Amino acid sequence: MSDNRPIGIFDSGVGGLTVVKEVAAAMPFENIVYFGDTARVPYGSKSKDTVTKFSVQIVKYLLKKNVKAIVVACNTVSANCYEELTKIFTDTPIFEMVSFGVKAGLEATSSQRIGVIGTEATIRSNAYERAFYDAAADITVFSKACPLFVPLAEEGWTENSVAEITSEIYLQELLDKEIDALVLGCTHYPLLLNCIHRAVGSVKVVNPAVRAAAEIKTFLSTANMLAECVQHDRKLSFFVSDFTAKFNRISKVVLGKAHIAEKVDLEV
């Protein structure tokens, strides 16, 4: 048995393209529908109620695209309203990012001292801390909000002096805590991966999307929901709430080719 319906992936902006990259690599025959809420990015400075409202609108839109599963490629949504989404939408598997980041982080650390960076809303939610401490009693977690990383990623300023200096300033506080692993608790942050690596040196940097793609593949396989490998070339479809040229530019950087996104108006 198989299921050729697409996988839906959404984020507040372009950051979720880093998740599309990993999902596409892990499951090369899957069709993917991506929605980026570029008109309302960033989510990290918004209230939980607002983020929940936006997320419900997006999930409803993706379901109209007949998706078989939904990946919440946004840690702010994952940390603040994943449970609400699963209660509202009970017929479709929905995957969040926090649990995958925790699993990968625990595998990466040997000192049991882990750093987590994310948006203000993600860090304020304490979702990562709770999940880490539930999984391992001997772990110590240090969290840091890095609100400037999202606008830098959205602007494409990922390899300049501004990104370098911002990374050094944000991450020094965690280095002073002697962490040996750093979880990127925002899907925009892998766009600044080179700057982050240079700032943290030998600290292992964890991208939760890699673990997410592997486990989602396992889930779909077990549920007989993977697409047939004999189908036509898979289709990647991209939709945004506000069209900007930067989407094409960043999609080329992340996915290897520029993708044209279609602007759509969500039902309020």
This prediction has a pTM of 0.92
**CA dist., res. 205 & res. 254, Å (int):** 18
Q: Where are the chain's structural domains?
A: 7-96+210-263, 98-208
List the one residue out of 124, 171, 118 whose CA is nearest residue 145. 118
- Token digits for 33? 């529908």
- Among the listed residues 74, 81, 146, 195, the single catalytic one is 74
pLDDT in tens, 144-154: 999 999 999 98
Query: What pLDDT does residue 266 have?
Result: 87
Which amino acid, 80?
N
- DSSP for 187-208 reads TTGGGGHHHHHHHHTTSEEE-H
Query: What pLDDT does residue 229 have?
Result: 76
**CATH fold for domain 7-96+210-263:** Rossmann fold (3.40.50)
Same fold, 7-96+210-263 and 98-208: yes
State what percent of residues in the chain have pLDDT above 90. Answer: 86
- Among the listed residues 146, 186, 195, 229, the single catalytic one is 186
Burial category of 9 from C-beta neighbours within 10 Å (exposed 0-12, middle 13-18, buried 19 and up) = buried
**CA dist., res. 84 & res. 26, Å (int):** 28
| Ranges 82-91, 103-112, 163-172, 221-230: which has the least confidence | 221-230
248 has pLDDT over 90: no
pLDDT band at 186 (very low <50, low <70, confident <90, very high): very high
Query: What pLDDT does residue 223 have?
Result: 96
CA distances 46 to 125, 205, 228, 256, Å, are 12, 27, 40, 32
Q: Which CATH architecture has domain 98-208?
A: 3-Layer(aba) Sandwich (3.40)
Omega cis (within 30) before 42: yes
Would residue 74 show up in a list of annotated catalytic residues for this protein? yes
* H helix intervals, the chain: 17-26, 48-64, 75-88, 98-108, 120-125, 127-135, 149-155, 161-175, 193-200, 208-222, 245-255
pLDDT in tens, 33-75: 999 999 998 898 899 999 999 999 999 999 999 999 999 999 9
Would residue 195 show up in a list of annotated catalytic residues for this protein? no
Query: What pLDDT does residue 232 have?
Result: 63
List the one residue out of 111, 139, 126 whose CA is nearest residue 204. 111
